[in-house]
Structure 1
Amino acid sequence: MHPMLTIAIRAARQAGSFFAKSYERFDIIEIMAKGENNLLTNIAKKAEQIIIEVIHKFYPTHSILSEERGQILSEKNDIQWIIYPLDGITNFTKRLPHFAVSIAVRINGRTEVSAIYNPMLNELFTAVRGQGAQLNGYRLRIKNNNELEGAIIATGFPFKAKQHLAAYINIIAKLFNKCSDFRRAGSAALDLAYVAASRIDAFFEIGLKPWDFMAGELLVREAGGVVTNFGGGYNYLTSGNLLVGSTRIVKKIVPEMQTELSDPLNI
């Protein structure tokens, strides 16, 4: 096993265990608003600290990019850990057991290792560049579906980018006429992991941040899928507009989306 994956798993499991123990503790959970439609809890901040301490115990010179703290620079900024201690924070605060710890390691600008852990189901999704993706040690491989008919597509509403709502609704309407059904579960990391596991056939969302998708991106690629922007290109690292799935499904979805995209979304 890749040595950094070993540490990523350790950090994810420790943070996940903390979430599982805190899940029903109404008395210790404090909820704060960081901005419109953006929550923070003391539990997520504590889990973030747990993850950082594990990483820096073994790799004290590595830098970290965190959803809560931002960039934590160190001696080796060419090696960066990207962490999201609680993806699905609204689900957690509402006692919906669908959330995850997400950790990725990028070396010289390439994602090499990823781990996504759902503590409520004890499901650990992992990937190492060039070595495939796994769920609890079992190899994952995306089914290369040919058609949108029968496909299940996951998405996330653009609640932080409501200026794109009209285009988004139009895209949903076009795809809904072609696919079987939609899912909106509230964790982009798990949506990406579920594409890798063929539990859903495709996923798209507007304006994601690196900590939302970096670990899941590697999972999808290592499971045989593709990750693009809404136009089928590869500028999603900048725009955060992601479309993922099997090669054939993505090729079917892109033309459906193209006619509805405003200029800011066509990147």
Structure 2
Amino acid sequence: MEPRPPTSEHAPRDLGIAVDAAVSAAHAGAAILQSYAHHRADLVIDRKARNDLVSQADREAEAAVIEVLRERTPAYGLIAEETGGRREGEATWYIDPLDGTTNFLHGIPHYAVSIALVAHAGSRMGPGPQLAQDTPVIGVVYDPCREELFTAVHGVGAWLNGRRIACSRTAGLDDAVLATGFPFRDFSFADQYMPMLHQAIHTSRGVRRHGAAALDLAWTACGRFDGYWEMGLAPWDVAAGTLLVREAGGTALDMRQAEPWPKSGNVVAGNPQVAAALLGMIAPHLKPQA
């Protein structure tokens, strides 16, 4: 029998409840997205900033996600891309109702709902010891176009549609297919990023840019990509995918290794060998933070 995504039988009680809630919330949000999928021309679209769009679908999907999480896990805080929020209790949900908005609006079937629970330093999630630092403990990324549900629970494992997943075993950059994201709304770090991209193109098997960070991390967790790096993301873009990679035996960390998880949105991920090589490739081009 194939392994199943963790439930209360596989994980500590509070994490089992939380992952069940996150999966239900992801399906609720995705149902909204797919209801608009063939009527994109009718969507009301606002421009938050250059190349930073939000649609009626984003907002309604986020509302559906929040409704489920508030009903089933009222003790936790909520921080969502469109409506904001705050840290509360022992842990906080980080919600991206539509990761890959530009893809969605252009009819490109590559986008996802991303939901993560980040436990706060000093909290105790389940029977284990208190956490020394903020830690993603639940990660759910749902791709409704492929009907692929990625789930992860801290200390338990990572799954794709009920089958346990693992990062690739590629030994180095020479044989690695890498994922990345180009600067698209904040170009302040382009002078750091472009030399990284140039070097990756010349030292890897290939570089892909698909436009949905949560799926880039999920695909790294299941071995489709060997490594991934990107700058200038938001915490809700990377929280769930960070845990997926870690629970799949990989490394996912802040590019400058200054945070317990890449909350600032500068992320490097991959199997341990490729992630280490990516860090070595990236480090010479990083400027000190202001």
Distance 1:261 1:27, change over 3 A: closer
Q: Determine whether 1:100 maps to 2:112.
A: yes
* Partner amino acid, structure 1, of 2:150: F
**1:197 corresponding residue in structure 2:** 222
Q: Determine whether 1:50 maps to 2:64.
A: yes
Q: CA deviation at 1:19?
A: 1.1
Alpha-carbon distance in 2 for matches of 1:18, 1:197: 26
Residues 139, 153 of structure 2: 8 Å contact kept: yes
**2:3 corresponding residue in structure 1:** none
Alpha-carbon distance in 1 for matches of 2:275, 2:91: 31
4+ runs of 1 displaced by more than 6 Å?
A: none
Distance 1:122 1:238, change over 3 A: closer
Matches within 5 A, 1:201-220: 201-220=226-245
> Which deviations, in whole Å up to 9, do the C-alpha atoms of 1:191-247 show, x marking residues without a partner?
00000010001110112211000000000000000012335x243535321110011
1:183 equivalent among 208, 216, 229:
208
Q: Determine whether 1:157 maps to 2:182.
A: yes
Higher mean displacement: 80-89 or 20-29: 20-29
**1:229 corresponding residue in structure 2:** 254
Identity of aligned residues (%): 34
Q: Determine whether 1:22 maps to 2:36.
A: yes
Q: CA deviation at 1:156?
A: 0.6
**2:95 corresponding residue in structure 1:** 83
Q: Structure 1: where are the runs of 5+ without partners?
A: none
Q: CA deviation at 1:262?
A: 2.2
Distance 1:207 1:27, change over 3 A: closer
**1:70 corresponding residue in structure 2:** 84
Distance 1:138 1:247, change over 3 A: same
> Which deviations, in whole Å up to 9, do the C-alpha atoms of 1:95-147 show, x marking residues without a partner?
00100000011222321111000001100000000110000000001123212
| Structural RMSD (CA) | 1.6
Q: CA deviation at 1:27?
A: 5.0
2:270 equivalent among 245, 248, 256:
245
Residues 238, 262 of structure 2: 8 Å contact kept: no
Q: CA deviation at 1:71?
A: 1.2
* Partner amino acid, structure 1, of 2:284: T
Distance 1:117 1:252, change over 3 A: same
Q: Determine whether 1:7 maps to 2:21.
A: yes
Alpha-carbon distance in 1 for matches of 2:137, 2:79: 15
Alpha-carbon distance in 2 for matches of 1:29, 1:260: 40
Q: Determine whether 1:255 maps to 2:280.
A: yes
Alpha-carbon distance in 2 for matches of 1:152, 1:138: 23
* Partner amino acid, structure 1, of 2:240: A
Alpha-carbon distance in 2 for matches of 1:247, 1:27: 43
> Which deviations, in whole Å up to 9, do the C-alpha atoms of 1:152-202 show, x marking residues without a partner?
110111123212212211111112111011110000000000000100011
Alpha-carbon distance in 2 for matches of 1:216, 1:126: 9
Q: Determine whether 1:36 maps to 2:50.
A: yes
* Partner amino acid, structure 1, of 2:222: A
Higher mean displacement: 25-34 or 10-19: 25-34
Q: CA deviation at 1:258?
A: 2.2
TM-score (norm 2): 0.86
TM-score (norm 1): 0.93
Alpha-carbon distance in 1 for matches of 2:111, 2:237: 12
Aligned length: 262
* Partner amino acid, structure 1, of 2:218: A
